[in-house]
């Protein structure tokens, strides 16, 4: 078992290895990287992170379908979105055209009145990024929708690790000039960001002895996060690159 100093040295090395532009080539983050306008990046980043589960090639292929559906101009498409009549059938696992229509309508109301970043404002009672996600979820779901669509916006109050929302926040907030994350949002400190806890990062965290809990829920995330903050209090989520890389590429 590695001590804290050895663990930091090992994960620092792996984070540096994977946090490079080469990471983009087969990762869903390549979809928002095809745009330069802030709003386009935010919109495509949010939707592609929402469907980011399962085979990564399938995620990217469906991201390309969405780009085509939106006429390669996501922000303009969202601002002028009216009815689902022009929507091509869309399915990614359990996310379908019903959910997509709801997402488009909710994003339209958000961008007509303000910004997506503003929805991740601090919660008056729940600290940190957990409160920001709760705040966002409540506001995003304010638009009329079918109950089925709510499962696509994770609820940490019910124990969900909110993997995809935490990943989206990493993309938007981190600004380390390495070329992967965008660093577009300035009002959320990187110190608040949490690990996108999934099969890869969870399994590697257990193998390294920094996670004992068997479920990949918010309680497990809090357990891992406590260690990552000891390794780097200002940017704990940079170790996502290390844990994910070890699991997805090295079968550590």
pLDDT digits (tens, 9 = 90+) for 195-244: 999 988 999 999 999 999 999 999 999 999 999 999 999 999 999 999 99
Structure-model confidence comparison of residues 129 and 248, the more confident one: 129
Instruction: State the Cα torsion 31-32-35-41 to the nearest 10°.
Output: 160
Give the pLDDT confidence score for residue 88 in this predicted structure: 72
Give the pLDDT confidence score for residue 86 in this predicted structure: 62
**Is the pLDDT confidence value at 24 over 80?**
yes
Give the torsion sign (CA, 112, 151, 84, 71): positive
Q: What percent of the chain has pLDDT over 90?
A: 87
51-95 pLDDT, tens digit each: 998 888 899 999 999 999 999 999 999 999 987 766 678 888 889
Query: How many structural domains comprise the chain?
Result: 1
**Is the pLDDT confidence value at 247 over 80?**
yes
What mean pLDDT do residues 25-35 have? 95
Give the pLDDT confidence score for residue 56 in this predicted structure: 86
Cα 236 from Cα 97, distance rounded (Å): 36
Cα 135 from Cα 122, distance rounded (Å): 7
Give the pLDDT confidence score for residue 55 in this predicted structure: 85
76 lies in which domain range?
A: 4-248
Indicate whether this model's pTM tops 0.75: yes
């Amino acid at each position: 078992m590695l001590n804290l100093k050895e663990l930091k040295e090992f994960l620092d090395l792996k984070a540096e290895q994977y946090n490079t532009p080469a990471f983009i080539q087969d990762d869903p983050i390549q979809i928002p990287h095809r745009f330069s306008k802030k709003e386009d990046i935010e919109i495509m980043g949010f939707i592609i992170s929402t469907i980011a589960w399962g085979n990564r090639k399938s995620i990217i292929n469906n991201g390309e379908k969405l780009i085509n559906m939106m006429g390669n101009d996501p922000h303009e498409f969202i601002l002028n979105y009216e009815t689902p009549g022009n929507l091509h059938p869309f399915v990614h696992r359990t996310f379908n055209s019903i959910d997509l229509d709801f997402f488009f309508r909710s994003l339209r109301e958000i961008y007509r009145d303000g910004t997506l970043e503003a929805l991740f404002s601090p919660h008056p009672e729940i600290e940190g990024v957990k409160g920001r996600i709760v705040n966002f979820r409540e506001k995003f779901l304010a638009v009329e929708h079918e109950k089925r669509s709510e499962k696509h916006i994770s609820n940490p109050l019910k124990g969900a690790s909110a993997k995809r929302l935490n990943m989206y926040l990493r993309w938007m907030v981190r600004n380390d000039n390495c070329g992967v994350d965008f660093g577009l949002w300035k009002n959320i400190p990187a110190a608040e960001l949490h690990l996108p806890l999934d099969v890869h990062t969870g399994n590697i965290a257990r193998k390294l002895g920094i996670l004992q809990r068997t479920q990949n829920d918010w309680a497990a995330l809090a357990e891992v996060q406590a260690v990552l903050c000891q390794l780097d209090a200002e940017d704990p989520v940079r170790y996502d690159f290390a844990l994910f890389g070890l699991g997805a590429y090295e079968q550590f």
